[in-house]
Amino acid sequence: MEEKIVRAHVYVSGIVQGVFFRSNTRNIARSLGLCGWVKNLFDGRVEAIFEGPQDMVKKAIDWCRHGPPGAVVEDIEVKWEEPEGEIDFRIIY
- Catalytic status, residue 27: no
CATH number of the domain located at residue range(s) 5-91 in this protein: 3.30.70.100
Whether the per-residue pLDDT at 1 is higher than 70: the answer is no
What's the pLDDT at 7? 98
What's the pLDDT at 76? 98
- Catalytic status, residue 24: no
Instruction: State the CB neighbour count (10 A cutoff) for residue 69.
Output: 8
Interval 2-56: pLDDT, tens = 689 999 999 999 999 999 999 999 999 999 999 999 999 999 999 999 999 999 9
Interval 58-76: pLDDT, tens = 999 999 999 999 999 999 9
| pTM, two decimal places | 0.96
What's the pLDDT at 77? 98
Map out the domains of the chain as residue ranges: 5-91
**Which entry of 7, 26, 27, 40 is annotated as an active-site residue?**
40
**Which entry of 22, 24, 26, 45 is annotated as an active-site residue?**
22
Cβ-proximal residues to 86 (8 Å cutoff; 6+ apart), any chain:
7, 35, 36, 37, 49, 51
